[in-house]
Structure 1
Amino acid sequence: MATVANSDVFKRSRMKQAGKPSAEDWASKRSAHFNCKSQSLSPWILKQAAGFLKIPGIISRGGGLPISEHFPYSEILMRSPQMMRFITEHVKLVSNPTYAKWQACQTLGSAGALEQAVLMRCDRNRGNCVLTEGYTFASALETMAPKVIEVVSVKTDDQGILPDDTHDVLTDWDVSVQGSRKPHGLYTIPSAQIPTGAIQGIERRRVIYAVCRKHNIFILEDEPPESLGSYLAGVVASFLSLDIDGRVLRVDSFSNVLVPRSRMGWITASNQVSQCYLPHVEFANPRSGESAQIILWKLLDDTWGYGERNMLFATCEELLPEELLWLKVYNTRHSKHLHRSLLEREEEIFQSALQRGALRTSGSWFCAESHTPPRKLFLHTTFVSATEDSMKSAF
């Protein structure tokens, strides 16, 4: 059973905040920002017809959904508040969009949501390309690759994307030289960026957003869910919070929080963008199941632990020098530097760690422009996939 619910149902009157401006009219810009498929898709007609069931006294002779007496169960005692209620209140609490009409839609996790967002906007026949960090989430790159979408990297520092370089790339774009249209989308992970861990400060985000407004760039913001409580006060405002045009589609996910492959998440965007996104979901990936919603809501309602993260911190404090801030390997000083490429040395380190019983991901897997030689050599590690004892052994 998949719960079909609209976030508008759970917006309290005080949440509507009359007086907020409307998002920009994206319907008039569909040809520039949405592909031909998105422009031709519309919500299922049978679902639209179901809206008439709200009419008092109406007798349904249309859709195929049976009346309650025809279901084999008289009652199901597994009850919970709507997961959509939590999502809606969470978006209002954390991001609080500046415009009046926004909508949250449930997804099967960030990977599925990203694929539908890409399918909504990009088309291999239009020469689309997307901006992103020089190194970014490998699954996102693999999602774009089969669609023949060119990924253009921009320079970064310890706060992520450099606005000046982004502006220069867009200003100097030459279709005859680049062989593709000027980018009209930015994919970014602004907090705890994968794999670099960079966090964009609030001023950096404001400047990046201003650059995107100037060049009419749509932002796909991909972030893990924030924790609530006292930590919430320190959360940097998201691009969705800064958005005044409706040019941001934010992806949140609880994927792998419950059990492997148990995927659940949501996207948040202006109503116009959401209505363009939903038909892609209806024709491809359904919403998350009721069981996943119930289990996840119970987890969120009762507890939220940080044990795995703290375990990694404790291991670092025990096994690494206290004054260590960042470990950098100067591979050019190796005696065989001139005889092996960076990729060959990276593979050697990867295989050596593997032979010693430790699996880590290679930095080149996250390289946005995979056709160019990597400029750095690094490994990416995580704290969620090992016990405390095995984590110490891996160190």
Structure 2
Amino acid sequence: MSPPSAIDIDVEAVTDTQGITIPDPLQLPLRANEIFGRRKKTEKSQWGVAAPSSSAKFKADVGSGKPMARRWDDYLSAEAVRRQGNSLKQAAKYLGKPGLISLGGGLPSSEYFPFDSLSFVAPSVPKFSEAETKTDGVTVTAGKHDLQEEKGIFDISTAFNYGQGTGSAQLLRWITEHTELVHHPPYQDWLCTMTVGSTSALDMVLRLMTEPGDYILSEEYTFATAVETASPMGVKVFGVPMDAEGLLPEKMDEILSNWTSATTPSGARKPHLLYTVPSGQNPTGATQGAQRRRDIYTVCQKHNIYILEDEPYYFLQMQPYTGADAPDVPPPKTHEEFLTSLVPSLLSMDVDGRVMRMDSFSKVISPGSRVGWITASEQIVEKYRMHADVSTQGPSGMSQLILFKLLDEHWGHGGFLDWLVHIRMEYTRRRNVILSACETHLPRSIVSWQPPMAGMFHWLRIDYTQHPSYPSKTIPEIEEEIFLRVIDHGALVMRGSWFYANADDRHDTLFFRATYAAAPFERITEAIRRFGEAVRESFGISEGLEEEGREKKKLKV
């Protein structure tokens, strides 16, 4: 059964003649285990088939004293201005009226859905491993008519039917509460709406806020699919130089300050969008620290840049790396300690409503769920919803039902945070395995790296100047040779040039991207060993000669 949907203000006796008023829970600081008690009372009609909803209904903090988001009318595309949404879905708001006989919408009868119940086995908190789930897992079940039979607020007859572009009210409530718990957006009119994943969300926002011929800003090495999403729209990506902590705000400021249509490629207007992956950036693994994020936000305020904060790896922030032989850093002891340990998001710094944050269940639950969400100002969310209603619509109702049963009814917010701590420690172990393998098997005189703080990726820099064929061979040719040698040795890493923000750019650096996300530990180590063999072979060195070189260096010191 679901936790109570609301809690009333009450009075508790102190003596026979005295009492104290228990504070209104909606006015207290939000804690994970208190969310259920803060939930506002809702009408049953809100949970019905295709019921429209807004995350504004589910926020505990109504925003008193916070600023309103600025408006972005000048940044909306001609398509976004023209789009009016789905006229037929406007009738859905009347479906909850008692006694209404609907002959309007094309909603099929649930009696023709060939499912009576849906069950799955999920881990119980805190026994999250596969082995523990087999022995101690809990069977979670959704019936076909749980809502009608008052057994729950989300069922097969509702979830498996048509829905709104926002997604179901049931899961949207949980998402809104989670966003408020983790990020506390500092302006009033923020909202969430569901997506079918962040790639789709990026596609939509580019259509909402760019025109053919525009440039957007991003890290100089960036998510290849983002570039490939923008390119067919006639939108190009301008790469901003990076360091080990990600995008350099002073370089972005310099680019924007000197941008004029007369001196920039194709006579393009000044960019007004920044696409960034602040945590565990794909492909470099770089994580922007809190001050770096504040500095980026300040530059965006100066130049009035709208920020697309793509954060699939936010909760894959790991324990500090202390070295291959050092003891592991213990996990956070409390939910508060865990949340405090996370680098503050750009959304949590956003006083203007200039950030669209893209979240996803892909990296923390399952990519195949195809459920994510955006958080942005009411104006932008409303434009996004209009687009979704006539394109992707909401995410799969089957996925939404499974996630709701897991996250809301089974784990709750506290259990989900426990799960996030669990996968944090699992990814920390994986990161440590690949770093240990690199320290053991790679020629340090040629290959260098920074320990990633978050995400799934390890970025390996190759000193191409030591290659025996340089400079007669170009950097791309050396990259190609190493890549193919690694394949010959039975391993696969990705070429750094595949992640250029602009394919026409030429960099005087050589990188490869490795991932530690999925392979068993021993296979990660073996793959790095094979990569090291291929690099040595390409550079014409042996492990023995390399060791001899290191000893000579030590003697000189």
TM-score normalised according to structure 2 size: 0.64
- The yes-or-no answer on 1:20 pairing with 2:66 is yes
Please report the RMSD computed on the Cα atoms of aligned residues, expressed in angstroms. Answer: 2.8
Contact 2:217 2:271 in 1 (8 A): yes
Contact 2:69 2:187 in 1 (8 A): yes
CA distance in 1, matches of 2:404, 2:436: 34
Residue-by-residue CA offset, 1:290-332 (whole Å, 9 max, x unaligned): 3223444566536454335513413533662599864643211
Matches within 5 A, 1:1-395: 6-8=53-55, 11-12=58-59, 14-26=60-72, 29=73, 32-65=74-107, 71=112, 76=117, 78-79=141-142, 82-124=170-212, 127-178=213-264, 179-224=267-312, 226-227=314-315, 229=335, 230-255=337-362, 261-297=368-404, 301=411, 303-304=419-420, 305-306=422-423, 307=426, 309-317=428-436, 320-321=439-440, 326=450, 328-395=461-528
Bigger mean CA offset, 367-376 vs 280-289? 280-289
Amino acid at match of 2:252: T
Structure 2: where are the runs of 5+ without partners? Answer: 1-47, 119-140, 143-151, 155-169, 316-333, 451-459, 529-557
What's the offset of the Cα at 1:278?
1.4
TM-aligned CA distance change 1:259 to 1:170, over 3 Å: closer
What's the offset of the Cα at 1:46?
1.3
What percentage of residue pairs aligned between the two structures are identical?
Answer: 38
Higher normalized contact order (CA 8 Å, seq sep 6+, divided by chain length): 1
What's the offset of the Cα at 1:115?
0.8
Partner SS state of residue 203, structure 1:
helix
Residue-by-residue CA offset, 1:255-279 (whole Å, 9 max, x unaligned): 2655564422111111100011112
CA distance in 2, matches of 1:296, 1:62: 30
CA distance in 2, matches of 1:118, 1:309: 34
CA distance in 2, matches of 1:259, 1:75: 24
The number of residues matched between the two structures is: 387
Amino acid at match of 2:236: E
TM-score normalised according to structure 1 size: 0.88
Structure 1: where are the runs of 5+ without partners? Answer: none
Residue-by-residue CA offset, 1:153-178 (whole Å, 9 max, x unaligned): 11222222222221121111110221
CA distance in 2, matches of 1:5, 1:226: 30
Residue-by-residue CA offset, 1:357-391 (whole Å, 9 max, x unaligned): 11111101111121022331111111123122322
Contact 2:312 2:363 in 1 (8 A): no
Amino acid at match of 2:483: F
Amino acid at match of 1:360: V
Contact 1:5 1:84 in 2 (8 A): no
CA distance in 1, matches of 2:174, 2:284: 30
Amino acid at match of 1:279: M
Partner SS state of residue 501, structure 2:
coil
Contact 1:110 1:255 in 2 (8 A): no
CA distance in 2, matches of 1:66, 1:385: 41
What's the offset of the Cα at 1:34?
1.1
What's the offset of the Cα at 1:54?
3.9
Bigger mean CA offset, 58-67 vs 72-81? 72-81
What's the offset of the Cα at 1:71?
4.8
Contact 2:85 2:390 in 1 (8 A): no
Bigger Cα Rg: 2
What's the offset of the Cα at 1:39?
0.3
Bigger mean CA offset, 369-378 vs 281-290? 281-290
CA distance in 2, matches of 1:3, 1:104: 17
Bigger mean CA offset, 294-303 vs 93-102? 294-303
Partner SS state of residue 263, structure 2:
helix
